Amino acid sequence: MKDKNLPLDNNTHSLEELTKEANNIIESLESEKDLQNSINNYQELLRLNNIIEKKFQKKSKKISEETKQKINDITSKKNAK
């Protein structure tokens, strides 16, 4: 799915909020009897999953960059001594 298909309001939510919303949809799907509602809920779950995945990737990249910078700072201090 492309970013343009994602609802904009979900991009401001935290990973925890999005995960809770996804869990609610999963619970709804498990108890749903109407196939049409299940399809709509499943499509929403896929959109949420994509948003969560992108947020996770961004967060992971940020953590990696911060860690790399800290390692560089530590090694440069050791080399300066």
**Which pTM does this prediction carry?**
0.65
SS3 content of the chain, % helix, strand, coil (to 5): 90, 0, 10
| 20 falls within a domain | yes
Q: Which residues, 6+ apart, have CB-to-CB distance to 50 below 8 Å?
A: 1, 6
pLDDT tens column, 3-42:
444 444 556 788 889 999 999 999 988 888 878 778 888 9
Cβ contact 68:31 at 8 Å = no
Q: Percent of the chain scored above 90 by pLDDT?
A: 49
| Token pair listed for 58 | 């961004």
| 36 falls within a domain | yes
As for how many domains the chain has, the answer is 1
Q: H or E segment at 32?
A: none
Question: What mean pLDDT value characterizes the chain?
Answer: 83
| 40 falls within a domain | yes
